[in-house]
Amino acid sequence: MLELKPLFDVELDVAPWLVNCRLTPLNDHDESTSPSRKELQIVNVEKNGSVLYTWKGMKGTTCIGIYDPHNKQNKLLYVFDREVPLISCSVNMERTLLAVSILQFTRRGLPMDTFRPVSRCLTLLIEIHPVNNTKVLKAVDSDVRVQFVHPAADKRVFPENHLLVVSEDRCIEHICIRVVVEEGYRVMVQNPDRLHKDIVAEDFLWAQWDTEGQRLFYVIKKENNAVLMCIQFYPDRNYEMLLSFPLGLSLTVTKLRLVNFGYNHFQEESLESLNLQVFTNHAGTMSVCYSHPVQNKLEFTYSIILLHHGWRKTFTVSLEASGCDCISEPAFINIGYYYVAVYMPGYFLHLINTQHPNLACHSLFLSGKDAKMKPWIHKRYMLSLSDLVLDCQLGKMYKADLNPQTLLLFMRDSKLDCHQLAAMHCAVLYLQSDSETEAQIIHWMCDLPVSGTFDLIQEFILGTLYRKVISETNAMDKLLPYSSLFNWDGEIPGISCSTETISQPVFGEEIPNIQVFWKELNRNVESVKNLESLQNPWHNTSSLRRIKTELCLKMKVDERANKHFRNILENAKKILSKVNTCSSAEQQVVPFFQEEDCHQMVLIGLMVEKLKEHLLNYLHYIGKKKIDLIVNNYVLNLLECIRQIVDEIWKKYGLKSHILCLSSGEKVNPAAFVAFHMMTRVLEAAEGLFLPLPPGYHTIHIILGVRCLPLHTLLHYIDLGVLHLTERFVTRLLEGGCTTVEYT
């Protein structure tokens, strides 16, 4: 279900270029040879996706190159005149400065200069535009990682460069490097002997570089508890501490772990270090994932802290028998806006819905043969870099993505309610506006029996509307319903979950305007405090039914004198006028919107009015015009969604428009009965949420009822309110002398 889509492969994207440019050793025939996998290695991935790699060049040299994924071109950055073991490297955005750290030992373990003692690791700053000077930044006995801070793409370039130097003695230094341009092209470091340095973090146990957001996360120990800190770096000024948050995690780790600071091919991550990763996105969500130490081989525990929801969820997985010899650490993978994956090869794959984690059935837990990710092989070391996955041994980089076909097949073949619901929401939300996918989901729902746990049609409607409105603005995520479920008491085989409320994170004194993420995260955290007051306007259906009943009674007494009622109808007419422009008659299989259904118009107008009132209470700052647009689109999408469901039902069973023309001697079509049954389910789903239906729905529904049901059953359905007599239906029935009803 989850697959790795290749983005970069050194053997395909780099090796041919090296051979063509004769940048590798020559063979006996004076031809450039292709480098071996051990000689061609990825060492870092920069903010814009550029990949830094190293290889063995001509005459025993060590070369550093860069691959630009946007124009798919390679460039040679620097050549060492001897073979050096490269620990880490980073290049600034203008590609004028290169920072590297190297081991000062040969492959035989001897110092490169055997006549004097040397430090184990040497960190250099090299001017490469053109190649001018080299400055030693650090000479220590511990490994060092280097990372340039990259300015935002839409910001102008400043004469300052900022470099992070991360030592394994648990110290992170920030170095400010000013450059000058001489002779129009020579980029030189200004005052290289007096570079400004300061310490941004020390005595930490774990650190992660957020490449996209240019943030430094690190964990320190306070009274045996782990505290997560975050420093934000800016393109045009210094940096500041913006987050301090106690993880509630008792620390037993002894070794340091560095995440997203490139990959050191001369050192493997220790299982004694903290396996933790932080994922963020533009909508202001922050998920902190970490695995607990393994206590036994029968179960495994991991937690995810959702700062934007104020929860910590701890999962315990019962490990099934598999072909794996040992239990390794799970990998945490970010796979887009909605999900974080926890993957332990050979055991389980857990897709956690980080936007809606309140119910376990909104996440998808897979085990056994379903829990596979191709081409992930658990024996190879795979490194998760934010939303990318790096195969360090083969030099390949991937993007984790859901396979639509596999997801839909799983959804179709699943027998458990929890799997069906999670897979459907995953397909609706993650696969976005794919009409073919939505059609497959609707066809699948037609073949399923009615569930007593939830209404799949309701879930499909609300999930589809939620996805569309979120694409307009992130502010809607807690104000509009994602699901009709308020609670779920079921169990998911193989996994248990416990939820606890966490303390609120402490932000810096000022949320900067330049960082949308921090403003959104702060908004999410603040909204957690007010969750009890966030009631969706149509969830209180009894109140809305009372208002609608009063309106309909006033309508019968004096329609023209009732100003409120006239406003309600005007709201509905605006929506329906847009329906007519959005849906051409040729695209419609079922002829909705061809009559005035006053009851549905009241519901449409009432929904518009109450939804605007609801949003104005919380989003007044975005303006009335924007709210009007959001509400009108929401209601319009609702009517279109119901129309699409019925259209797909009719397509599935091959019904044509002539089914709406009654004839006394015509044989009953079995497909019409199935369509009638499905339209009844759609009607129940809409009425259960007090949602309006497209005008004409009840007329078409009762015509199918006349075609399919015996007279006594038809009358019984009318008495029960399942079928509604409409003015158009009764008029056509009377005009046809009770023998023919045409819908034209």
Q: What is the DSSP string of 71-102?
A: TTEEEEEEEESS---EEEEEE-TTS-EEEEEE
Name residue 647's beta-bridge partners.
Answer: none
Q: Which two tokens stand for residue 392?
A: 């360090």
Q: With b meaning 16 or more CB within 10 Å and e meaning fewer, what string describes 558-582?
A: eeeeeeebeebbebbebbbebbeee
pLDDT at 254: 75
Q: Are residues 700 and 681 in the same domain?
A: yes
pLDDT at 682: 94
Q: Which residues neighbour 416 within 8 Å (Cβ) at sequence distance 6 or greater? A: 492, 493
pLDDT in tens, 343-357: 988 889 999 999 888
Q: Long-range contacts for 214-221 (Cβ within 8 Å, ≥24 apart)?
A: 214/47, 214/149, 214/150, 214/152, 215/280, 216/164, 216/172, 217/278, 218/172, 219/247, 219/274, 219/276, 221/251
Residue 542 DSSP symbol:
H
In a domain, 477, yes or no: yes
Contact between 388 and 399 under an 8 Å Cβ cutoff? The reply is yes
Q: 330 preceded by cis ω (within 30°)?
A: no
Q: Which two tokens stand for residue 54?
A: 């190293």
Q: What dihedral angle (degrees, nearest 10) is formed by the CA atoms of 181, 182, 187, 191?
A: -90
Q: How far apart are CA 164 and CA 47, in angstroms?
A: 14
Q: Which of 499, 534, 569 is where one domain is finished? A: 534
Strand order across the beta sheet in which 73-80 lies: 41-45, 51-56, 62-68, 73-80
Mean pLDDT over 619-625 rounds to 85
pLDDT in tens, 21-43: 988 888 767 778 888 877 899 99
pLDDT at 740: 39
Mean pLDDT over 641-664 rounds to 81
Cα–Cα distances in Å, from 300 out to 319, 332, 342, 494? Answer: 7, 14, 12, 11
SS (H, E, C) 622-683: HCHHHHHHHHHHHHHHHHHHHHHHHHHHHHHCCCCHHHHCCCCCCCCCHHHHHHHHHHHHHH
Q: Where are the beta strands (DSSP E) in 264-379?
A: 276-281, 285-291, 299-306, 311-318, 331-334, 339-344, 348-353, 364-367, 373-374
Q: In this model, does residue 77 exceed pLDDT 90? A: yes
Q: Which range is least confidently modeled, 24-38, 136-150, 396-410, 610-624?
A: 24-38
In a domain, 719, yes or no: yes
Q: Are residues 578 and 720 in the same domain?
A: yes
Q: Are residues 499 and 460 in the same domain?
A: yes
Q: Are residues 715 and 581 in the same domain?
A: yes
Local confidence band at 530 (pLDDT 50, 70, 90 cut-offs): low
Three-class secondary structure of residue 275 per DSSP = coil
User: Within its chain, how far is the Cα of 204 from the centroid?
Assistant: 29
Q: Are residues 412 and 462 in the same domain?
A: yes
Q: Which of 513, 534, 555 is where one domain is finished? A: 534
Q: Which two tokens stand for residue 396?
A: 């390949």
Which strand (E) or helix (H) includes residue 199? strand 196-202
Residue 323 DSSP symbol:
S
Mean pLDDT is highest, among 503-517, 604-618, 658-672, for: 604-618
Q: Which residues neighbour 134 within 8 Å (Cβ) at sequence distance 6 or greater? A: 124, 125, 126, 127
Mean pLDDT over 596-613 rounds to 87
Mean pLDDT is highest, among 36-45, 82-91, 259-268, 658-667, for: 82-91
pLDDT at 496: 93
pLDDT at 667: 60
Strand order across the beta sheet in which 215-222 lies: 257-259, 204-210, 215-222, 225-233, 239-250, 506-507
Give percent of the chain above pLDDT 70.
Answer: 85
Q: Which two tokens stand for residue 372?
A: 């596979």
In a domain, 501, yes or no: yes
Q: In this model, does residue 650 exceed pLDDT 80? A: yes
Q: How far apart are CA 650 and CA 2, in angstroms?
A: 33
Local confidence band at 321 (pLDDT 50, 70, 90 cut-offs): low
Local confidence band at 112 (pLDDT 50, 70, 90 cut-offs): low
Q: How far apart are CA 705 and CA 676, in angstroms?
A: 7
pLDDT at 510: 62
Q: Which two tokens stand for residue 301?
A: 């525990």
Cα–Cα distances in Å, from 706 out to 70, 219, 221, 670, 701? Answer: 61, 69, 73, 13, 9
Cα–Cα distances in Å, from 652 out to 273, 396, 444, 450, 635? Answer: 55, 43, 10, 18, 26
Q: Which range is least confidently modeled, 183-197, 380-394, 620-634?
A: 380-394
Q: How far apart are CA 319 and CA 348, in angstroms?
A: 8
Three-class secondary structure of residue 731 per DSSP = helix
pLDDT in tens, 149-201: 987 765 656 688 999 999 999 999 999 999 998 877 788 999 888 899 999 99
Q: Which two tokens stand for residue 151?
A: 């300015």
Average predicted confidence (pLDDT) for the chain: 83
pLDDT at 549: 67
pLDDT at 421: 92
Q: Are residues 620 and 477 in the same domain?
A: no
pLDDT at 584: 52
Q: With b meaning 16 or more CB within 10 Å and e meaning fewer, what string describes 89-109?
A: bbbbbebbbbbbbbbbbeeee
Mean pLDDT over 99-115 rounds to 64
Range of the domain at 427: 269-380+403-534
Q: Are residues 566 and 679 in the same domain?
A: yes
The pTM is what?
0.89
Q: Are residues 584 and 519 in the same domain?
A: no
Q: Which residues neighbour 364 within 8 Å (Cβ) at sequence distance 6 or greater? A: 1, 350, 351, 419, 422, 423, 426
Q: In this model, does residue 110 exceed pLDDT 50? A: no
Q: Are residues 586 and 685 in the same domain?
A: yes
Q: In this model, does residue 744 exceed pLDDT 60? A: no
Local confidence band at 90 (pLDDT 50, 70, 90 cut-offs): very high
pLDDT at 164: 96
Nearest to 242 by CA among 504, 509, 522, 503: 509
pLDDT in tens, 49-62: 899 999 998 888 99
pLDDT in tens, 213-236: 899 999 998 887 889 999 999 876
Q: How far apart are CA 429 and CA 445, in angstroms?
A: 17
pLDDT at 580: 63
Mean pLDDT over 656-664 rounds to 66
Q: Which of 482, 507, 534 is where one domain is finished? A: 534
pLDDT at 534: 54
User: Within its chain, how far is the Cα of 325 from the centroid?
Assistant: 33
Local confidence band at 115 (pLDDT 50, 70, 90 cut-offs): very low
Q: Are residues 603 and 694 in the same domain?
A: yes
Local confidence band at 551 (pLDDT 50, 70, 90 cut-offs): low
**CB-count exposure of residue 452 (10 Å: 0-12, 13-18, 19+):** exposed
- Residue found by looking up tokens 């509400």 in the block: 631
In a domain, 627, yes or no: yes
Number of domains in the chain: 2
Q: Long-range contacts for 321-326 (Cβ within 8 Å, ≥24 apart)?
A: 322/346, 322/347, 322/368, 324/378
Mean pLDDT over 247-262 rounds to 85
- The identity of residue 162, as a single letter, is H
End-to-end CA distance of the chain: 46
Contact between 524 and 516 under an 8 Å Cβ cutoff? The reply is no
Altogether, the residues listed in the chain come to a count of: 744
In a domain, 233, yes or no: no
Mean pLDDT over 527-556 rounds to 59
Q: Are residues 287 and 331 in the same domain?
A: yes
Higher pLDDT, 385 or 67: 67
Q: Are residues 512 and 570 in the same domain?
A: no
Three-class secondary structure of residue 446 per DSSP = helix
In a domain, 72, yes or no: no
Nearest to 459 by CA among 516, 399, 510, 417: 417
- Residue found by looking up tokens 């996209």 in the block: 212
Q: In this model, does residue 67 exceed pLDDT 50? A: yes
Q: Which residues neighbour 263 within 8 Å (Cβ) at sequence distance 6 or greater? A: 42, 43, 44, 383, 390, 392
Q: Which range is least confidently modeled, 147-151, 198-202, 707-711?
A: 707-711
Q: How far apart are CA 260 and CA 276, in angstroms?
A: 12
Q: In this model, does residue 630 exceed pLDDT 70? A: yes
Give percent of the chain above pLDDT 90.
Answer: 33
Nearest to 302 by CA among 346, 246, 355, 365: 365
Q: How far apart are CA 521 and CA 528, in angstroms?
A: 11
Nearest to 609 by CA among 687, 534, 692, 542: 692
In a domain, 485, yes or no: yes
Local confidence band at 107 (pLDDT 50, 70, 90 cut-offs): very low
In a domain, 253, yes or no: no
Local confidence band at 742 (pLDDT 50, 70, 90 cut-offs): very low
pLDDT at 196: 92
